[in-house]
Amino acid sequence: MTGVATPLDAPGRSTSARIQPAAFTGTATLLRFNLRRDRVRMSVWLLALTLGTLATAAEYKTLYSTPE
């Protein structure tokens, strides 16, 4: 006999009362993992961005030496 397998419902439970998994299940765990893994990379990037901004601000004195 050949037939199509269908999932059996648990006794005493209606099919409309099934709990659907949340769309963002595990997002917080993945976010913490990525932040922990990339903490060195983000620190170096932030330091380079800050130093670049400070170096640019310091160069304005040499670019515009006369008060015109």
User: In this predicted structure, what is the pLDDT of residue 50?
Assistant: 98
What distance in Å separates the CA atoms of residue 16 and residue 6, rounded to the nearest whole number?
A: 16
Name the nearest CA neighbour of 49 among 57, 38, 59. 57
User: In this predicted structure, what is the pLDDT of residue 11?
Assistant: 61
User: In this predicted structure, what is the pLDDT of residue 9?
Assistant: 59
Write out pLDDT tens, residues 3-62: 677 666 556 655 555 666 788 889 999 999 999 999 999 999 999 999 999 999 989 888
Asked if residues 9 and 15 have their Cβ atoms less than 8 Å apart, the reply is yes
Name the nearest CA neighbour of 18 among 9, 6, 27. 9
User: In this predicted structure, what is the pLDDT of residue 7?
Assistant: 61
Residue 40: what residue type? Answer: V
